[in-house]
Chain A
Amino acid sequence: MTGAWSTKEKIGLACVALALIALPFVLAMAGTAWVRITNFAVLFILLSLGLNIVVGFAGLLDLGYVAFFAVGAYVYALLASPHFGLHLPFWLILPIGAAVAGLAGAVLGAPTLRLRGDYLAIVTLGFGEIVRIFMNNLSAPVNITNGPKGINLIDPFRIGDFSFSANSGALSGPIKYYYFLLLVLLAVIVINRRLQDSRIGRAWVAIREDEIAAKAAGINTRNIKLLAFAMGASFGGIAGGMFAAIQGFVSPESFILNESIMILAMVVLGGMGNIWGVIAGAVLLSFMPELLRYTVEPAQKALFGRMLVDPEVLRMLIFGLALVLTMRFRPAGLWPETRHRRELDADRK
């Protein structure tokens, strides 16, 4: 696909861009909390896009993806906090975090090259837990991660005197981060699109389809698989670094198995392999709990005069129901990649 846009597409694109630029100010009217929620949604989009490389493009089921998010977050936390007294600039740390996470991805990938499907899922699940438990316990004899207490007072992004966390006029901290996240997201989308249409992208598809045939076609399946793990992981690492800066605090609790499953659910719900589907899935699943939080309680109070069901309980119920319904009626996801849809269509025949 070559990128010649039609006039219609250009106008549509301009509208989307304007809406995205105006979005934080509109949200800020409803409360800065909504801008923060949006920022976390963008982080989840980044994570989903990273996982999509591994799961969607290369067909390698990864249940421990949050580990790379954790690696990125801890790299940032250790290099920009009073913990070690290091305060490197963020534009230096983010690439380091991406590289370290990418390396971790390759380290996970290397011993799992012969595994597929369920077996690979089990190993990656274990890897995710290992990373979290390491973070939890690397406080003695040498205190590296500060254990379960986590690392506090992490530096925000700062360029000279311009800090991303402080308010400057109409631009509140979260809004500044929003624009930064948006830029990173744009870059990640462009990279993803390029990858998908590249030789590497085609090699991933071939491996996903038939590994022996891929080898016979001259694809170095080992390197190409490792590349998928490493690239996916490095996106997770970047997201992790930004997470640490935005939160100002990291602890192992943020990187539990549930998070891996949530990111995988975003990829699957949206439509494995299709970038836009994955984004839609991530947006949907990030905002849904928040919307529920803000609607369920008032609705119950209005109807029954008191709270009957805790929104937190309802949230998981609706979440589960949504997943079941999606798998029943749109098994390839809400917005599937053409090839994944083809497979399911072919299976039905």
Chain B
Amino acid sequence: MARALIEALNLQIHYGGIAAVKGISFAVEEGEMVCLIGANGAGKTSTLKALARMIPAHGEIHYGAERIDAVPAHELIRKGVALVPEGRGIFARLTVAENLAMGAYHRNDKAGIAADLERIHALLPRLRERAMQVAGTLSGGEQQMLAIGRALMGRPKLLLLDEPSMGLAPLMVEKVFEVIRAVAAEGMTILLVEQNARLALELCSRGYVMESGAITVADTSAALLADPRVRAAYLGE
């Protein structure tokens, strides 16, 4: 097996005195697509935010050969880690084109940026159509696609996706997941945090199940989908 692209060892997150994540360890190999599923408040988003260095955490985070648990958040995109934040976090008052340009903020290879923009427009044609539209006026699904497109503009190696289905109509959720599948097909390593466990497991090859701050089950998606405990708790059967 290839070396893990990102690996967390004994990751702990506290909010005040409350432990939100209680020493979990997991890894995502290069080119893999892995999901972190679980109920509301299980610590999934906290985990992802800690990987992106948006919140402080204890424990080790390895990115390739490098330890990144002391690297400032804004340095990560330069290293190839892109976060698509929960609730999309688009720049609502900027146009779609300006949002995408912000995704390439840290780059100065004009030709490369233009090529990536072209690639993202091909993947997400709606963004080309709406380039001059103010992002805040897009539909929820379009905003999610914009957030993904913006992250891709940073030309990342690892994409951290936080609840991309949140607040979207079922039809839109499917479209967004199609986009994620297409991105993965290009070889992107993806760590997906998702409440919609069935969708996430159908998309990813492996999954971790989180329950009140700890990983309780870790297995391939097929095994998790067949696991009676997972089926009862997260797949509504």
Q: Could you tell me which A residues sit within 8 Å of B by CB distance?
A: 199, 202-203, 205-206, 209-210, 212-221, 339-340, 342-343, 346, 349
Given contacts A217-B154, A218-B154, A342-B136, contact A210 B90 (CB under 8 A): yes
Q: Once bound together, how far apart are the Cα atoms of A212 and B142, in whole Å? A: 20
Q: Are A212 and B85 in contact (CB under 8 A)?
A: yes
Q: Are A220 and B74 in contact (CB under 8 A)?
A: yes
Q: Are B74 and A215 in contact (CB under 8 A)?
A: yes
Contacts of A210 in B (CB 8 A): 85, 89-92
**Interface-lining segment among B102-110, B114-122, B123-131, B194-202:** B102-110
Q: Which of B72, B93, B106, B136 contacts A217 (CB 8 A)?
A: B106
Q: Which of B54, B93, B147 contacts A343 (CB 8 A)?
A: B93
Additional pairs, 10, CB under 8 Å, beyond known A203-B105, A205-B94, A212-B54: A202-B105, A206-B94, A209-B91, A212-B89, A216-B89, A217-B77, A217-B106, A218-B78, A219-B74, A346-B137
Q: Are B54 and A215 in contact (CB under 8 A)?
A: yes
For residue A339, give the distance in angstroms from its CB to the closest CB of chain B: 4
9 A-B residue pairings within 8 Å (CB atoms): A210-B85, A215-B73, A216-B52, A216-B89, A217-B106, A218-B154, A219-B74, A346-B136, A346-B137
What residue in chain A is nearest B84 (Cβ atoms)?
A216
What residue in chain B is nearest A224 (Cβ atoms)?
B74
Contacts of B77 in A (CB 8 A): 216-218
What residue in chain A is nearest B91 (Cβ atoms)?
A209
Q: Once bound together, how far apart are the Cα atoms of A236 and B23, in whole Å? A: 50
For residue A209, give the distance in angstroms from its CB to the closest CB of chain B: 4
Contacts of B73 in A (CB 8 A): 215-216
For residue A165, give the distance in angstroms from its CB to the closest CB of chain B: 46
- Which one of A206, A215, A217 has the greatest number of beta carbons of chain B within 10 Å? A217
Q: Once bound together, how far apart are the Cα atoms of A342 and B102, in whole Å? A: 18
Q: Once bound together, how far apart are the Cα atoms of A220 and B89, in whole Å? A: 17
Q: Once bound together, how far apart are the Cα atoms of A101 and B33, in whole Å? A: 51
For residue B112, give the distance in angstroms from its CB to the closest CB of chain A: 15
Q: Once bound together, how far apart are the Cα atoms of A340 and B83, in whole Å? A: 26
What residue in chain A is nearest B88 (Cβ atoms)?
A213
Contacts of A199 in B (CB 8 A): 105
Main secondary structure of the interface of B (DSSP, over half): mixed
Given contacts A216-B151, A346-B134, contact A340 B93 (CB under 8 A): yes
Q: Are A339 and B137 in contact (CB under 8 A)?
A: no
In the complex, whether B82 has a CB less than 8 A from a CB of chain A is yes
Q: Which of A215, A221, A339, A349 contacts B94 (CB 8 A)?
A: A339
In the complex, whether B150 has a CB less than 8 A from a CB of chain A is yes
A-B pair count, CB < 8 Å, reads 82
Given contacts A205-B91, A346-B137, contact A217 B85 (CB under 8 A): no
Q: Are B94 and A209 in contact (CB under 8 A)?
A: yes
Contacts of B54 in A (CB 8 A): 212, 215-216
Q: Are B134 and A202 in contact (CB under 8 A)?
A: no
- Which one of B72, B73, B74, B77 has the greatest number of beta carbons of chain A within 10 Å? B74
Q: Are B102 and A339 in contact (CB under 8 A)?
A: no
What residue in chain A is nearest B54 (Cβ atoms)?
A212
Contacts of B91 in A (CB 8 A): 205-206, 209-210, 213
Q: Are A346 and B154 in contact (CB under 8 A)?
A: no
Contacts of A216 in B (CB 8 A): 52, 54, 73, 76-77, 82-85, 89, 151
- By Cβ-Cβ distance, the 9 closest A-B pairs, closest first, are A218-B106, A213-B89, A209-B91, A218-B77, A339-B93, A216-B83, A215-B73, A346-B136, A210-B89
Contacts of B103 in A (CB 8 A): 217
Contacts of B72 in A (CB 8 A): 220
Q: Which of A213, A218, A339 contacts B90 (CB 8 A)?
A: A213
For residue A55, give the distance in angstroms from its CB to the closest CB of chain B: 15
Contacts of A202 in B (CB 8 A): 101-102, 105
For residue B109, give the distance in angstroms from its CB to the closest CB of chain A: 14
Q: Once bound together, how far apart are the Cα atoms of A349 and B92, in whole Å? A: 14
For residue B200, give the distance in angstroms from its CB to the closest CB of chain A: 21
Given contacts A216-B52, A216-B77, A221-B74, contact A346 B102 (CB under 8 A): no
Q: Once bound together, how far apart are the Cα atoms of A306 and B3, in whole Å? A: 91
What residue in chain B is nearest A223 (Cβ atoms)?
B74
Contacts of A349 in B (CB 8 A): 137
What residue in chain B is nearest A210 (Cβ atoms)?
B89
For residue B130, give the distance in angstroms from its CB to the closest CB of chain A: 14
Q: Once bound together, how far apart are the Cα atoms of A349 and B133, in whole Å? A: 15
What residue in chain A is nearest B78 (Cβ atoms)?
A218
Q: Once bound together, how far apart are the Cα atoms of A203 and B94, in whole Å? A: 12
Scan residues 133-160 of chain B and give those whose CB is less than 8 A from a CB of chain A: 134, 136-137, 147, 150-151, 154
For residue B138, give the distance in angstroms from its CB to the closest CB of chain A: 10
Given contacts A217-B77, A339-B93, A343-B92, contact A206 B102 (CB under 8 A): yes
What residue in chain A is nearest B53 (Cβ atoms)?
A215
Q: Are A217 and B134 in contact (CB under 8 A)?
A: no
